[in-house]
Structure 1
């Protein structure tokens, strides 16, 4: 009787609707798994078509091409003598399901539909798929003729079943099912399933990785068994970055850890594990054994194949390892950088253009691009031919080899400082110095001529000329004067992005990078269609607080000395006149709230689902040491007024890397209206009544003390 089994899981950088590329990466992962001795290979969720197909799932083409790829997979000699577990959409009785298709030697063993669909936050699986609602029930699925010709099967089992091989039992979960309160692995484990598999498309959020790892390890600690998790990696066409972290666990211990961030398109983890370790572990869990005597058994699909060998009694098993987590600063350095690389190589552009103001936000974006360059040079040095091929296409040079990240940064990043009469010499110097330290191709642009030309047109039509508030103008005039500067910068950014490489005798164009953080978006503290409008924004889901920590990290780890002075300066838009050459305008003063407060408002509004009244009640307690109830009320009212007045701006947000669970992204994540009654009369009245009660209570307490 065999003891040790060798199994493989993987992370693949799949791309929505890239059937050729997806097929190539799946085959490569199976080839690596077999080479390392694995007898079972698990892949990510919907890996054949790519997870992010969205409404393309409605199209019959997506189903057709997925089956065509499946046929190619089963016909390939690479997939012989290994159980292959792949993900794709399947239509059964005119219902579309998110499925695992498990096959061996040109025979489909089981099609297992997803039971619990992800339908919150960024996920809309219920829009395209139906959950399988028949636990432990199996039906007959009639195969398309193109598959019948390969498998010589007319029909196969479809439903909630497990695989019984000659030596063990294997059960499947799909992504969300691990996170549900009644996960399938619970009942499967009680029924004797020893190997659990989970194919995921789980995206990166700052500080999330530990939750996923702990869930997997707790699963096998409580019930015993082997757990394999596969995950999508990279940007498959949207705002999300899937962060890999494939893993293998046994009896509560991690034995194999995949990379969280990597430029490798294919990563395969293989572990050799002893089945007897599971059986002895479970023997002592009496509560599990009692439950097993009452369990409703799963339908078992018999598989005449073993994951182990007869002579493997002395084969060494994989040993437990300690999971290595990244700090939030490292996550910011690596995640958005990998996302940018995927977007750049797949969009077939020549690089990026970044309006670099010398502040924390735009400097953070510059550092993320520099981190991308570091990772590209490291991957090439490690022999990653795919990355080198992509570099050749981007720089249009078939013999170029990136070795120095600063030199490579000069080829793929153009930074520009767009000065006006309101810009300070301090920010000019900081932008220029940072560009020199990271090696970007840097240009200076003065926008005063364009701004004055626009006001000349306005004056010619109306006969009026607005003034800044410091010169006696109204608030409306002051805001209009600032907005014109901001919008001119957007126009110039796109002009230079389109033609900058042309002026240098180089082909292609540049992608414009946005620099608005998640807190400013939440408050609406930016000009609609200004230079925050861009092609993509790597920091649009990251808080100002986290960005400051990231800048400090870059200063210490990338040896960018100018960052020390950038992080210490107050944030400013520099859109109002200077006073004796110095900035008087600051972001926090303009916003009427601090960035730290904004993060709290965002988390309460989105994560805690707090309206104005509930937010006030929570903050009265949270801020009781620093703010009186009436002051808290004033802050909450001001936030909700500004939030509602500016909510319309969310409809035009630049597509941003999703890294915060309080992102206000209207297009995907935050489905709230953009036209509000900004007076919030009923809600604010409830707050005022509560303030009066609290103040009366406080007065009564003071009187009782006297």
Structure 2
């Protein structure tokens, strides 16, 4: 399933020191996890005995019951492929340790002791337990089995499914043990916990789990003991969470009087690739760990996870609003620095009445506000040609008028006709020559005008166009500063929409620009003066291409996996063959158009995906796409 594995975090009903009761509920939840194709299920700290036994941890009767209980877990799990991680107090060399016990198919695979044993405020664990910080390369006798014991254990099924374990307070330490586990290759981290509830603590707990999953570029599964624990002095709420690379995928409900289990499908293949491409992961300290091999684990047959069809666009409106404001700030700060550095007062923008040039103008306008410059020094040039419609021309005029910038109109028709004569091209042949002559004529006008005004040309092309090479080389491909180059088409729409909400004086024209089909307007318009050349009819929907780009660059996903994810994300909108068709075109264009990206102008990086040849993306212009296409065509 392309590196996806289902994991579970369980909070069973518990009675203090009633091991038989606790084991029954652990078994019930374990079997539920197995039926749901979970690879691993996590239980809370000391879940076999209960956490709040206090000085009863000194009683041999309790430990005998724990041994019997673990033996029963082994008997009940002989036919279970799902790995279980349970908490138990275990003796070793006349010391008692707070341990995580890993079980699969009737075998204890290993035991990991807690390192940071708290002794502050309401916690008195050092009264009973020793720290496992020095326990390495040892074996322990548990339920009649001699198994690996220590803080130097990782559990592995394959290069993607490798997990490490820490216990409660370990996560709260300055450098959690899971950090070293991740650096040694663990993509999946588990925490058996007993975290009591006080006002505000749950939020901090959630931030710890999320941030550790992000810092380690891992999936992090957390389970804390529930309300059945003793309430002599504190209350346990039974918190359960599953996070992946900073995002909380699932969280249980606290204070339930019944057992609960949560599931999430984590993308371990993605995490593995991101560690290679997006961090200083390889420079971290790599400690020695013993590897314990797992047997086959259940494979999910159907993905139970939301795949965002618009990964560049936050789905939450409040987050999206914050993101839009931040992006405009990034663009404005970038352009302000460039203008101050070269001492230019004038920005020249080719304004078409389309989304990209609109965003470039809005960002430039914000820059001038910050620098307290006169917006009249923003010189917008509308250059009607063979395909310009009245709608886009009028929208360009209204937008410039509303912002109070300078607007010039330069009709390029005659200049293009003259050029056709020079190169011997029939203007009735609407080929790529017909289109590109117009694009290059417009760029020439902008460049020459910028020279005349001692200004710079602001590029309008975006990240999606750069990925597809959907620009005319040395035409709209070129500028003196490419302010939109880090922003994908799907996000640009929301940026303009946000601007419409925050600029009521130009809201109406921005809304009409948003409603206008994306087009370069290089082919003659229809008889009713409407756009005849619609970009998405030629290259495919930008929402698909942005989706393909995100997963290909972010995690190095294969065409087969990208196709699978797209089918899940867009199942209500596009059929499988349509998605496959546009993915094939995306791959072909992405490879064949690298030469344009290799000489793209400066421009600010905005998100995690960028294609600057000086920054994020270095690719030979003559790389061959055949292996990617062959894999895609093998998909039935």
TM-score w.r.t. length of structure 2:
0.49
TM-score w.r.t. length of structure 1:
0.44
Which of 1 and 2 has greater Rg? 2
Flag the structure with higher helix content. 1
